[in-house]
Amino acid sequence: MNEAQVKHFIVMERQKGTTIEELIFILHDNGVPEYEISNYLEISIKYVEEILSDY
């Protein structure tokens, strides 16, 4: 997914009620790097790493 697709996907998923944690897993499963996930969701990289460590 390119940047525009990722941003659109996030907006649509948030409107449907998808949690930040679920979005982290979805984006990670779709090949989005952890640092980009943290940027797109405006959360810390540490939080992304913590969530994914439970995966």
Q: Which residues are CB-contacts of 12 (< 8 A; sequence separation ≥ 6)? A: none
Q: Where are the domains of the chain?
A: 3-53
Whole-angstrom distance, CA of residue 28 vs CA of residue 1 = 11
Q: Is the pTM of this model over 0.85?
A: yes
Whole-angstrom distance, CA of residue 32 vs CA of residue 23 = 11
Using alpha carbons, select from 49, 33, 48 the residue that is nearest to residue 1: 33
Whole-angstrom distance, CA of residue 16 vs CA of residue 44 = 23
pLDDT digits (tens, 9 = 90+) for 1-55: 789 999 999 999 999 999 999 999 999 999 999 999 999 999 999 999 999 998 7
